[in-house]
Amino acid sequence: MCSGANSRAVPESATILLPALRAGDGAGAIAALCARGPAFVGELRYLGACRSAAVRAHLERCRDEREHGQYRWAIAELARSGDGAARAEIEAVITHRLYRWLDDLDCEVLTDGAALERVPLLLDQLDTNCCTFAVVGSALGQVFEVDAFQPGWALVAASVTCARSGGGPRVTNDGVASPTVG
Q: Measured between alpha carbons, how far is residue 120 from residues 44, 49, 74, 125, 163 in Å? A: 29, 25, 25, 9, 10
pLDDT tens over the chain, length 182 residues:
444 444 466 667 777 777 887 888 888 888 887 787 776 666 677 888 888 888 898 899 889 988 878 899 999 999 999 999 999 999 999 999 998 898 889 889 999 989 989 989 998 898 888 888 889 989 988 888 888 887 766 555 555 554 555 544 444 444 444 444 33
pTM over 0.85: no
Q: Per residue in 21-64, pLDDT tens? A: 788 888 888 888 778 777 666 667 788 888 888 889 889 988 99
Find the DSSP H helices in the chain. 12-22, 26-34, 38-41, 53-64, 71-80, 84-95, 99-104, 107-110, 119-124, 130-144, 153-165
CB 126 within 8 Å of CB 144: no
